[in-house]
Each structure stands twice: as structure tokens, then as C-alpha cells.
Chains A and B, each alone.
Chain A
């Protein structure tokens, strides 16, 4: 802003105010857009998904971070579309006058000097509040300063997002779709933790580690054993004592078994378990 007219100093001051105002508006726009995006993400359960899998990690904050980036980008696009300059924020008569004076700041004519004095006088009375209140949003018949309206919108949206997030907190920790996965993980953790205990129990019942890969249910030495093979592990097993219960294939009392031919016994088994039990005894005989 070259030139020696005094009004240029006032213009420089107002330009500083205007730039701060524009930056604030940009950030408010970004806040509104980011809040809206985050609220949509909350409805879709995206933040809950990230929190569940990456709890305590920085990755859990990714949805919020992406919302902010998109908000900043959106505000930039919005800013480009509604481009205005400082002169548009001055009242109409003063705006034209100041623009004419600024564009002719190199002139030293009598008229220009008179104009410069007048503009200087008028600009010195313009405060930052006038600039902020100049741009207005209209809602029906009501008109509200843009800055205040946008600030209020950001506060409301953030409050809504917080409230919505809070109301969904219980579901976020164990949302229904992830319930079964959660159980699976707990069970797997339990199995790892009880591995040693299970091994000790197994030796008591005379079952060796070689039972891995064998059928999952057996009655050995009058003890009901439920054999659970840990899914995905390369080796190991767990034996767990369970309460005796009626099974289709336990037709006699323990210890009072009646010898029957193998074929007859196998024929008496329920068809769906027949093959697996047959294989179990075959493997037991050859081990």
C-alpha cells in the first residue's frame, strides 16, 4: 500500500482487522463443516469402530482428525466462492469513495486531495466491530451478523456432537455387531491363561498332550472330559472337567460295562456321532 495519503494508514489498520476477521470466519466455517462431518460419522458408528479396535492409541482419533482436515478444506473452497474484499465491508457510500481514493492514490490533483481528507476522516471512525457487523446473514426477515451466527452454530454443533457421543458411549464399548467378537477374544485370553492348569488336570486324568487333534468329547476312566482344541494354535490342548450329563451313547452305568461287539456298539451310536467316535477308538487303540 504505497502512497503518502494519511487515509492509507487507516486503510492498513482496517485491513489488519479485516484479515483477522476473515481468518476467524474461515476457522468458524471449518468448525461447522468439521462438526457436521463428525456428527455424520458418529451416526455411522465410525468413531466407535476406531475406539474399539485402537483404544488408547492415536489411531482412535483418526475420524476426528479427518473431519477437521475436511472442514479446513471445505472452508477454503467456501472462501474461494464468496470472495470479498475490505471495501465490501465498509458502508456503501464510503466503500465507493474509499475504492476510488485507493485506486487514485498516486494522483496529486485538487479533487484527489480533498477526497483523501474526507476518506481519512470517515475511515478513522470505522472500528473493528463495524467491519464484523457489516457482513450479515438473513434468516427470513431477521438479519444476524455473520460472525456471531457462525460462532453460535459451531458451539451448538459441538455440543450436539458431544451429547450424541455421550449417549452412544455404552454401545460404543461393546456394540452389538462386535459382541460375538468380544466374547471370542475373552475366551481365547482365558484359554491362554488356564493352559498350565489344564495341563496339570490332564496328567491327573491320564491324558497326555498327544490328544491334540483327537475328538472333542470322551469318557475316560469314569471322568467326563470335554476336550477343547484351541483354534488357530499350532499345538496344545485344554482339558476341562465338566458335570456328568446324559449322552445318547452312555447307555450303561460306569464300571458296569457290558461287552458288546464293536460293530453292534457302533451301530447303536447316533448316526451324526458315529464316525467320529469310531475314529476316536481306532486312534486310541493304535496310540
Chain B
């Protein structure tokens, strides 16, 4: 096992380069977004992707899932989606003349679950994912079913100002390790997208990493050394969100854990064997932005969570 880890650690930079290259065959640009999603996967956290429609959120998640040898399922969230549609349901089945109950697993039983347009699902259905996301298990009736490792929920959502959406409850937002914004591509990137998707054959990705390799990389992520100073800085940043002027509610201790883990994952992804201050500064945004609830006055003045995070990180 240790030899495996040593080999995978040695090969890690090559593995990451190959994954990025493979994703780049389908997704144009969005390097920062790809990096953040890979960070989330290495840290074993769930990711919320937010952007306007048509920016390739679903394509991106499908592509990343395609590069791994992991089970992938997709849930298209709609207002009439029921919790059982996600978790699964118990069926009565006739076996050799007698009737038996059989649990039919829902789409949540996969390694990578794409919850598309999660904020279109009703709050009841959204909360059905809570247990799965946090406990990595599903309880149906009197039975509890473990979800196979690794397990990630990559949810996409449209900005909540759009019609027909249900804002995610704070408790559920906190369960997402990262919230990643996807911005519009620039002119060159948009030209490449047009070229790539108006031909006869659409690009496809190949599997470049196995489940076992991914689990080893997740283990290595947790082993990345971080100095006590940076641990202190991460905690200070999270605590500051609770006292910062213009913030109604700050981040929970789960954010401190997330910030350290995400920083470690970024360090590994960038081929470093230690966490740097830069990792902390970069990862503070996707880790904290959905955990900060601004006061009415701040929102009225047009202050964003990212501006608050920027101020906090500068003050540390």
C-alpha cells in the first residue's frame, strides 16, 4: 500500500497534467474552474457550480467524470422531483412465487452525481440530499445504505434571481465544500468553442485515472504538510467572517476544515509538497463565499461576499 502511495505520489504531476489535457479537449478555457473542481474532488468535497445558462456547467461535470473511471449519474432537478427519485425506493418483487421487498437504488448511488439545476428542485427534495452529502449514506424506511467511496455531488445552479428557482437552505449550502462561479468565455475562447462544436464529430474524453488512483490521491492530499502559521491564518479568516462588518452570518468551523483541505489539494495539484499562503488566499473564495450571509445594508450597497473575503484575507 505504501509503495503504491509512493508511486502515485511520484506520478501525481503527470496524472494531473493528463487530466487537465483531457478536459481541455472538450472544455475550452475555464482553467481556474477546472482547477477548483479537481481540488474539490481531491479534497473529497461536494461542489456547487453557479453560472448563467449555457456556459457548459453540465458539460464540464460530465467531462471530468468521463476522465475518471467512476460511476456517474445525473439528476435533472425539476420542481416536481421527489426525494425517492434521488435516493431510491423499495419495490415489491415476486421471486419464485413469493413476494419480497427489493431496494431499487436511486441515482444518488454513484461515485459522481451531477445534480443539474439543483435550485429548481423543491426544498423537500433538496434536503433529501443532505444526509447523502454529509453522512455518505442513504436511509430508506428502516434501512441505511452506505454510498461507495469516492462520492461527490457536483451540483449546478442558475443565479437565484432567475424565475422558478428555490434558494438552497443555508444548512445545505454549508455542505458544499466549494462554490465555483463560471464566467463567460472571452472572444478567442468563444471562437474555439464554435469551431469545436460545429463540426461533424464532437470531442470525447478518455478515462485517464482509475478509482484506486483517485482514492490514493485523496489520501495523499490529506498528508500534505501545512505549517501551524497557515492553520492559524485559516482559522482567523473563518472566525473573521463572523465578526466582519456587513456580515449577518459568518462561516462555520466546517469552513476551516474545508479551507485547509482545499489548500492541501491545490498544493498537490500544483506539484507542491507543502501548503503555501497563496493556496490559502486562492481557496478562501470558493470555500467561504457561500457561507457568508451579508446584511441587508451590505447588499443594498452592492457589496459582494467575494469583496468581504478579499478584505478579510488582506487583513490577516
Contact = CB atoms under 8 A, between A and B. Distances in A.
B274 A96 contact: yes
Interface stretch (A75-83, A110-118, A238-246): A110-118
B273 A115 contact: yes
B28 interface: no
22 contacts: A93-B276, A96-B227, A96-B276, A97-B274, A99-B227, A99-B229, A100-B225, A100-B226, A100-B227, A100-B274, A100-B275, A103-B225, A103-B226, A103-B228, A104-B225, A110-B223, A111-B224, A111-B268, A111-B273, A114-B9, A115-B274, A118-B273
A101 interface: yes
Interface of A: 93, 96-97, 99-104, 107, 109-112, 114-115, 118
A112 B6 contact: no
B229 to A, nearest CB: 6
A100 B277 CA distance: 11
B2 A111 contact: no
Contacts of B220: 110-111
**Chain B CB within 10 Å, residue with most, of A93, A101, A103, A118:** A103
A115 B227 CA distance: 13
Nearest to B228: A103
A153 B289 CA distance: 51
B223 A107 contact: yes
B212 to A, nearest CB: 16
Contacts of B2: 110
Contacts of B229: 99
Nearest to B221: A111
**Chain A CB within 10 Å, residue with most, of B9, B226, B227, B228:** B227
Nearest to B6: A110
B130 interface: no
B225 A115 contact: yes
Interface string B255-295: 00000000000001000011111000000000000000000
B225 to A, nearest CB: 4
